[in-house]
Every structure is written in structure tokens, then in C-alpha cells.
Structure 1
């Protein structure tokens, strides 16, 4: 292994300190007072330098994987309910001078929208979102638990970008593999979890 690659790999794996952003990612989960559906919101994604640099300056796609689960609150133990998962990919298209927001559920594309600026994209995405069709129908005390994984440029993304039409095939060998690993490890990622307050459902007589 080349000495320079070894030093870089060691530095990344040991966790090189990074500058903290003025505001950190924050996840909020509430419950609609009437429909009992979850209301979710992600704050500060574009206020953090690491995400803005990855998306705006380097044109790396940002992937957000959402996992929402309904739980029944009971004395002594909580009972897990249905799980809903979906993905959002936010990317910059430099040649078109636009940003694209793509949402998929179960591999099926449900939204694909373009924006002319990162601020328009931010206004669209950092608004409160209501997730329909997941509210409990039985009596009891319930709450929602949500997990969000934010990643930038997976191995698959990296290989896809290297195989652009007219480009050479990705380099092979341990040096190239380590280089790809270093790129992936150096890009920002985050995991957030949050729970809604417990709410009660009572059927009307």
C-alpha cells in the first residue's frame, strides 16, 4: 500500500476533527391534533457547511433514508407497529444549473421536482411534512418513532459517476479501492432519531 494512502486512511479511520457548524441537524416529530398522523420536519440541513459544501460546491448527491414506525405505549413494555420507509435524493445538476428533489417509496418514484436555487429547494424540503395513512385505528396510547440516515455518495454512487459516457472504467486494484474508500469515509453522514409525544386514541360511541 502506498505510504500516502496509508496515512490518509489512518487519519480518516481515527477521526480527524472537523469544524462544528453553527447549527446542527435537528429532527422534529409531532402529531396532528385531529388526524393523529405524524408531522415531521428536518431543520438546518443547508445551514451546515459540510452539507452545503457537498451539494453546492462538489455536486455530490445527498440521500435521506426515512424510517417511521408506530408504537403502542403500554405499562412495562411498548409494542411495535407498522413500519414505513422512503428515500429522498437531493442533487445538483451543474449543466442545467438546477437542483433536483427525488422521492421514492418501495423503489417507485413518487416525486421528481427541479428547483432553480438551493434556497428554493430548502424552502420546499425543510417545511413540515404530514405522513398520511399511518395513524392508529384502535384505542390506546401511541407514539411515532422516526429514524433518519443522511449520507453522501455511496460506493454505488461513486462507481456510477466514474462510468459517465465517454469516461474510462473505474480503476481496479487495492490502491483504487482504498482511494474510493477514503472518498466515501471523508464525506458527511449523520443518523438522527426522534419520538413524538404519546397521544391517546379513543373510539367514539
Structure 2
């Protein structure tokens, strides 16, 4: 009589091999999925710290940042700006914001990864420093140094506790693997400029809305 034990042993071994192969395949699939997800997140990340929370500016005050200086991932590329701390005036998102006029009109910029040919939507909250004139603050949004949107904000009736933020939106098509977004003041001869907060960049979609709501120096 031939023993069935060797046959059973072989079947069990094959079963273990099959389970191991399945586990390897599942692990590989999981790793691929995680890699793809990480890649998608990286490509869709947009700008960092769009509400200018880092570093922490002085509470109930501000820090003037000159050309070449940084506000977290943002760089001042022209003139100077005021990095507004918590409590100085109403922020649109969280606690801090930026007045694009320090003592002179300034520009803040950030370079971030993009996918060639993809359309991106930029949304941001806009207000103005109501501490002084002119009544209408002006500025522009630039992509890689080219103006894609001019903006204005009228400070009539606005106060530090009711800044009257409005939502703005503009789109662009990425021309390379990285893109530089800039916000520039065109409000001349004043230390009271347009105020920017809550900047968000994402791959555009048909149903995207620019309505940021009404929230909330010298």
C-alpha cells in the first residue's frame, strides 16, 4: 500500500507557495497603488501655506519682509510686504495674511510642481488695508512672470474687524514641470495695499467655484 502522506505533503507545500505568491502580488499591488496615490497628491498639491501661517508673525502686529526675504515657502521678489500676525486684523483663513504693500508695493512668489498641459485653478481671498489710502487697492496675479489677472479692492466701509474679503479665481495651463505663482501690488505711493490670504491651487474642474465667502496695519 502506497502512503498518501508524501502526496499530501506536496499539496500542502504547493498551497503555501501559492499563498506566498498571492501575498507578494497583493503587496506589489498595494505598493503600486500607494506610489500612484503619492504621485497624484504630489502633482495636485499646488502651493504650500496659502494662508501665510509660517513663520508666526508677532501677535497684534506685523513683520515687514524685504526683497529676498521669505514668508515660509513664499519669497518676496520685489519691494517689501507686511506679514500680518494674529489679531492685527481679520484673516480670511486661520490667523495670518499678507499686505502686499510694506512701505512700497511688493510681490510674493512661490514655485510649485505642475504637470505639463494641465489646467490649474487659482483661488484666493482679497481685501485691502483700510488704514490709509488710496481707497481702491490694485494688484495682479502672475504666472511665470506673465500677468494673468488684474484685481482691485475698494476699502470703503471696511474695517480691521470687518475686512470684507472677496473670493477671486483665475486659471492657467502649466507649460512645464514647475510653475511660479506671484501676487504683486500695483498700488503706488502707499504703505496700505491689497491684502492676500487663503491661496489655493488645484487641477481645474468644470464645477469649481471661486466663492470663498465673506470672512475674516498701519
TM-score (norm 1): 0.27
Larger helix proportion of the pair: 1
Which structure is larger by alpha-carbon Rg, 1 or 2? 2
TM-score (norm 2): 0.26
